[in-house]
Structure 1
Amino acid sequence: MVIADKNLSLPDHTQLPDSDGNFVKNFQEHPQSILLTDSILPRLQEIHPDGYYCIGQDSGIYWRLTDPPEKGAEAPDWFYVPNVPPSLNGEFRRSYVFWQELIAPLIVLEFVSGNGEEERDKTPYKGKFWIYENIIRPPYYGIYEVRKASVEVYQLIANHYEKMLPNDRGRYAIPPIGVELGIWQGRYQNVELPWLRWWDEQGNLLLIGDERAEAERQLVEIERQRAEAERQRAEIAEQENARLRERLRALGIDPDNLS
């Protein structure tokens, strides 16, 4: 459902503001978004070999025509939309205009910077939770609180959000993209925090580019060490063989003419 005044025409993403002028709440939010995007890109490229998907990071989703226009948008900290072109008419997206696209995000994530009231606000036409549940309607809505080292995930079932239960690994399964969402305690961009991250369905952490490069380096090193160990074993075997041949010759036996 997109709400618009009948007297207003429907603008596209090039005609709507791409910012509401607010500062990002803290220095952790952008690294958190980058971490989520970087690690899930290989998975999304598998799902969408045609490249038809988009990811928004603190980007506006316009769902209502208002004056000023930005009052009719929500700007999730992170969201993913399947089966839409990555750009429109050759231009980077300035925002995601719901009445232009018609496809809802599959998952929307909000990073709590206050006490969480804003992200759980169910006030009709104003509260984030209400707007996501009733208007934008992503099948999954996650609320991440770094201070509490927690994330809660809601799934849209029978037109209402129901709070999901974590699996045995303490994470939340997102079956349409074959991943789990949960908390990872570790260091990223020189900061030790409980970060929000993805795992695959087998419980393997989805790695970011630097981690993938390091994992590849370690695999190369393991292979080098294996090859070196094989070379040393072969060298030792050759030395033992040479000593045995020498002993045979000392006994008057030609090792090349053994029958």
Structure 2
Amino acid sequence: MTQSLNPTAVPPAFPDHTQLPDSDGTFVKNFLAHPQSILLTDSLETTLQALHPDGQYAIGQDCGIYWRETDPPERGAEAPDWFYVPNVPPLFDGEIRRSYVLWREYIVPLIAIEFASGNGSEERDNTPLSRLPEGGNQKPGKFWVYEQIIRIPYYAIYTIKTSELEVYNWVNTRYRRLEPNDRGHYPIDLMGVELGIWEGSYQNQTQRWLRWWDNQGNLLLTGSERATLERQRADREQQQKERLAAYLRSQGIDPDLI
């Protein structure tokens, strides 16, 4: 017997971050990815506080951005190594986000960054959904999804082996590859910062790292770097006071009486 349809029945709601997988079961591909993500987030803290005094922003690190309902669900998601979304609450309905679900949020990330362990071909893959076989488990290219579906304004690819950085800006429905400025940095105008490569030591690794600079070319420091500078400044001031006190005593003057 054919089951009758109820025209007033409400269709099931689209799933949210609590109902979708928060991992695709793959390993992190290199030891650089985790500290690199922390470095980007930590050094951007004061800038984000100035941009969002109300605290309304979210940072994702290797978290899924769900853009389409699929079976299995992971086929409808991409997980940038690092991304920033302005003007959204840090929690969703009072809960820590397990992923970022576009049909629940409606605000797209402003920038996504990928750390390419290989030659970057996966991150540049522009294969559209229309070229994939029906019923298969293949996913469209990451580049195509960011450009044509999510439309993230800035997309950066950092190829770790070669220390090559590519930055794209979404203009007139397409990604346009940006040229670096005179400092070798890429301005991210909507954030008032620049993205570039810095060579140094972080978390016991001396590498070429992605870092932020302000639009005047000043390196944005991590909390630890700011604390170190403060200690050095305090030490210099203390040394100056001690030298002055020693000089005064050599002249027969008690510095404590001044």
Fold match by TM threshold 0.5: yes
Could you tell me which residue of structure 1 aligns to residue 58 of structure 2? 54
| Deviation at residue 233 of structure 1 after TM alignment | 4.1
Q: Unaligned regions of 5+ residues in structure 2, if any?
A: 1-10, 130-139, 254-258
Give deviations 1:212-236, integer Å, cap 9, x for gaps. 1111111111221222233344444
- Equivalent of 1:225, from 212, 218, 239? 239
Could you tell me which residue of structure 2 aligns to residue 248 of structure 1? none
| Deviation at residue 186 of structure 1 after TM alignment | 0.9
Aligned pairs, number: 233
| Deviation at residue 113 of structure 1 after TM alignment | 0.9
Alpha-carbon contact 2:118-2:159 (below 8 Å) kept? no
**One-letter amino acid matched to 2:228:** E
Could you tell me which residue of structure 1 aligns to residue 68 of structure 2? 64
Could you tell me which residue of structure 1 aligns to residue 79 of structure 2? 75
Greater alpha carbon shift after TM alignment, 7-16 vs 53-62: 7-16
Q: Does 1:152 find its partner at 2:166?
A: yes
Q: 2 CA distance for matches of 1:216 and 1:32? A: 24
- Equivalent of 2:207, from 193, 200, 203? 193
Give deviations 1:161-220, integer Å, cap 9, x for gaps. 100010101010112222110111111111111111111112111111221111111111
RMSD across aligned positions (CA)? 1.4
**One-letter amino acid matched to 1:223:** E
| Deviation at residue 9 of structure 1 after TM alignment | 3.8
Question: Which residues of 2 match residues 88-107 of structure 1 at below 5 A?
Answer: 88-107=92-111
Question: Which residues of 2 match residues 138-177 of structure 1 at below 5 A?
Answer: 138-177=152-191
Alpha-carbon contact 2:118-2:161 (below 8 Å) kept? no
Greater alpha carbon shift after TM alignment, 63-72 vs 172-181: 172-181
Could you tell me which residue of structure 2 aligns to residue 211 of structure 1? 225
Q: Normalized against structure 2, the TM-score is what?
A: 0.87
Could you tell me which residue of structure 1 aligns to residue 17 of structure 2? 13
Q: Which has the higher helix share?
A: 1
Q: 1 CA distance for matches of 2:12 and 2:32? A: 39
Alpha-carbon contact 2:58-2:86 (below 8 Å) kept? yes
Q: Normalized against structure 1, the TM-score is what?
A: 0.86
- Equivalent of 1:108, from 105, 112, 127? 112
Bigger Rg, which one? 1
Q: Unaligned regions of 5+ residues in structure 1, if any?
A: 1-6, 240-259
Q: 1 CA distance for matches of 2:144 and 2:91? A: 29
Q: 1 CA distance for matches of 2:25 and 2:66? A: 16
Could you tell me which residue of structure 2 aligns to residue 3 of structure 1? none
- Equivalent of 1:39, from 43, 53, 63? 43
3-state secondary structure, aligned to 1:129 = helix
Could you tell me which residue of structure 2 aligns to residue 251 of structure 1? none
Q: Does 1:137 find its partner at 2:141?
A: no
